[in-house]
């Protein structure tokens, strides 16, 4: 299923994975700077559609590369600022970005742990889990949705490995 084909009618809050859902996932490496960031074709149209429907749109993303010293939180802030600006230029919006830099899988904030969702609920007490939808390209995203008690839907992923692109149908 592609992002633009998702039935959103019963939800008012959208949680999105980033790598592989909004931008091309680089296999074996990280998006370290804006020059590495590449939007997935069709994502602007989907996000513009979602912006008209959802009260909130949040990104929840693991960013282990920071914990490994591959890039900095300043680099990530720059990537996210430019990403948001491009999304807004195309009629979409992102209301908040939650990320985890932990290396340890046991960290509750690292997906599939529910810590980033708990942060959203704390920051936005009007968010109702029953009206939340998580979209992501990986099993960890679906496990995250389950751990949060919210709906989850896997979407097609675009991955880049050795300079070649492939679409992974879930």
Active-site positions read: 17, 19
User: Residues 6 or more apart from 61 whose CB is under 8 A from it?
Assistant: 17, 18, 19, 97, 98, 99, 100
How far is the C-alpha of 125 from the C-alpha of 122, rounded, in Å? 6
d(CA 143, CA 140): 5
Q: Is 147 left (phi over 0), alpha (psi -120 to 50) or beta?
A: alpha
- Nearest in space to 18 (alpha carbons), one of 100, 108, 119: 100
């Amino acid at each position: 299923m592609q992002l633009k084909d998702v039935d959103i009618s019963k939800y008012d809050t959208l949680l999105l994975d980033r790598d592989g859902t909004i931008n091309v996932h680089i296999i074996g490496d990280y998006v370290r700077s804006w020059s590495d960031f590449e939007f997935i074709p069709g994502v602007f149209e989907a996000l513009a559609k979602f912006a008209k429907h959802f009260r909130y749109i949040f990104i929840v993303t693991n960013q282990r590369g920071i914990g490994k010293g591959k890039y900095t939180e300043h680099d990530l802030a720059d990537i996210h600022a430019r990403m948001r600006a491009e999304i807004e230029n195309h009629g979409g919006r992102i209301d908040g970005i939650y990320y985890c830099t932990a290396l340890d899988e046991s960290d509750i904030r690292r997906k599939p742990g529910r810590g980033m969702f708990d942060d959203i609920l704390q920051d936005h007490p009007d968010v109702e889990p029953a009206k939340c939808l998580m979209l992501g390209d990986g099993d960890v995203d679906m496990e995250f949705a389950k751990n949060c008690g919210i709906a989850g839907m896997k979407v097609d992923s675009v991955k880049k490995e050795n300079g070649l692109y492939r679409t992974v149908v879930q």
